[in-house]
Amino acid sequence: MTAPIVHATGLVKNFGRTRVLHGLDFTIQPGRICGLVGHNGAGKTTALNALLGLTRAEGSLQVLGLDPYANRARLMNDVAFISDVASLPRFLRVRELFDLVEGIHPRFSRSKANVFLQGTDIRPDAKIKILSKGMVAQLHLALVMAIDARLLVLDEPTLGLDITYRKRFYRRLIEDYMSDERTIIITTHQVDEIEFLLTDIMFIRDGHLVLDLPTDEIAPRFAQLGVASGNTEAATALGPIYADTHFGQPVMIFDGADSTKLEALGTVSIPSISDLFVALMQRKTLNAGDDQ
């Protein structure tokens, strides 16, 4: 059986008396694209920092078979981490940025990066600070795809870009970079822009994982019901996890409900990841406030 890329059991992180991560348990297998989604302050970046060996956490954590905090230098040979495009050093020229990354990451290929920039208006002598946001996104993407890493970690990588460049960034990442040998972890609070590419989803709220499953298991488990007129009381009795009104029609989301019963009450569909995120982020976590 193939060893997991990431395996965490009881992952806890405290900052002073404040508990930021509340005993997270999760596994990420090779060749997957996992979205770690939550509102700002939910614990996404803290969890990533633990995976990257940037902070010590309690519990058991293995990344590529290693304790990331104790073996960070060794781990980084097979891991690439890219934050938002604003993190690129704007005072450098493009070729100087390539020099920097070449010196930092042993699996960065300058020739590949240059190939990915072919057909763009980005020139080696151009200073990053004069590039448009779209050009910076293209440069950022070239850096990502020129690193031959087993694990790529993207922390809000398209923050501040318009939707056109965000979608182009992710589409090229899938078409030109992703393979069965690579795994990608993406954190974001804008789930709608990445749901088309995810194989796995984790929702984090206040340091708790409230959902962790492959995206192809959403349909068998969750259902969205557009409630027909006069059936609101009967639908509510089936225990929806979320209820709202869309253009005057009650809409409810159910977890594990009998599809036959739902179909008798209205129009049943599969909730989008975005809708599921809204539903689960507004529920109270069963162990919220439990800092044991």
Domain ranges of the chain: 6-206, 217-281
Percent above pLDDT 70 for the chain: 95
Q: Which two tokens stand for residue 15?
A: 């900052």
Question: 6-206: CATH homologous superfamily?
Answer: P-loop containing nucleotide triphosphate hydrolases (3.40.50.300)
Other beta carbons within 10 angstroms of residue 214's beta carbon come to 13
Question: Which of 120-134, 147-161, 209-223 holds the top average pLDDT?
Answer: 209-223
Q: pLDDT tens, 95-106?
A: 999 999 999 898
Residue 286: predicted pLDDT? 36
The number of angstroms, rounded, from the C-alpha of 184 to the middle of its chain's C-alpha atoms is 8
Residue where the block lists tokens 């349909």: 219
Q: In degrees rounded to 5, what are phi and psi of residue 134?
A: -65, -40
Secondary structure letter of residue 134 according to DSSP: H
Question: Would the pLDDT of 158 be above 50?
Answer: yes
Taking alpha carbons only, the member of 168, 143, 153 closest to residue 36 is 153
Question: Would the pLDDT of 83 be above 80?
Answer: no
Q: What is the mean pLDDT of residues 158-176?
A: 81
The contacts of residue 179 (CB under 8 Å, 6+ apart) are: 31
Q: What is the mean pLDDT of residues 256-281?
A: 95
Residue 29: predicted pLDDT? 96
Q: What is the mean pLDDT of residues 110-122?
A: 91
Secondary structure letter of residue 42 according to DSSP: S
Q: pLDDT tens, 14-47?
A: 999 999 999 999 999 999 999 999 988 899 999 9
Question: Would the pLDDT of 285 be above 90?
Answer: no
Q: What is the mean pLDDT of residues 49-75?
A: 96
Question: Would the pLDDT of 54 be above 50?
Answer: yes
**Strands 183-188 and 151-155: what pairing?**
parallel
Residue 287: predicted pLDDT? 39
Reported confidence tier of residue 230, pLDDT bands at 50, 70, 90: very high
Query: DSSP string spanning 172-193?
Result: HHHHHT--TT-EEEEEES-GGG
Q: What is the mean pLDDT of residues 146-169?
A: 84
